[in-house]
Structure 1
Amino acid sequence: MEIKKILTRLYVNDINTAIEFYKKLLNQDCDLRFKYTEMNLELAQIGNILILGGNHEALKPFKDTKATFLVDSVIEFREFLLKNDAVIVRDLKKVPTGMNLTVKHLDGTIVEYVEHKNINS
């Protein structure tokens, strides 16, 4: 069980402007960009920043999630978290990048756990 990377989440209405700004700020290229059409969102990763773009209504269900943890096995983390008093907010689900799970930790922090299928994080 390993957390490979922790991403800070940013919620924006204009993803193109945000991507250009953070590329310049971090002096890094966009590592990943995709549309999550099922949720009316577009996502981009630049370094340790995950940008979620969409309108207010599309972003609303996700804004309480404070971070995304990229992990080697979302299933192993699910078991560990449940044994350690975490509460499932959104259970295991296939997503465009692989599989995810969103939980509320014992301290109340909501975190998304993602296991990517084909990227080198």
Structure 2
Amino acid sequence: MAVLRTLARVYVDDLDTALPTFTALTGEQPGLRFPYRDLELAGIGGLLLIAGTPEALAPYRETHATAVVDSLDEVLALVAREGGTITDGPNDVPTGRNLTVDHPGGARIEYVEFDAGKVAAVSG
């Protein structure tokens, strides 16, 4: 299993209000933008902006980062071998499949395996 990219999570109230600042900071336009559950997400540079109401964001705030991996099945095998708890998933999501893991030592990470067709559909 390889981690292809890691995205720092930034929780915001309103995506349209936040994006101009992060566009200026990164010098990039959002590469991904899509709704998920009661949230709206945008990937820009090495950041994943996650927007929603305080209530909608509450279940996600303890997740430290999002890691894009080449094999979600290998993440599942690693969790079984090394320990940890799957707290959500695997799920079908707008970009492919994901799951969230509580690792020994306290890190909570979301892992995403991209599906090229789905990513193309939500790319900016």
TM-score class, shorter-chain normalisation, is: over 0.9
Structure 2 residue aligned with 1:101, among 99, 102, 110? 99
Q: Deviations over 1:34-76 (max 9, x none)?
A: 111xx21000000110000010111010000000000001111
Q: How many residues align?
A: 118
In structure 1, the gaps of 5 or more residues are: none
Q: What is the DSSP-based 3-state SS (H/G/I as helix, E as strand, rest coil) of the residue aligned with 1:21?
A: helix
Q: What is the RMSD computed on CA atoms of the aligned residues?
A: 1.1
TM-score by length of 1: 0.93
Partner of 2:44: 46
**1:75 and 1:91 mapped to 2: Cα distance?**
12
Partner of 2:8: 8
**1:70 and 1:25 mapped to 2: Cα distance?**
22
Partner of 2:68: 70
TM-score by length of 2: 0.91
**Aligned ranges 1:18-37 → 2 under 5 Å:** 18-36=18-36
% identical aligned pairs = 40
In structure 2, the gaps of 5 or more residues are: none
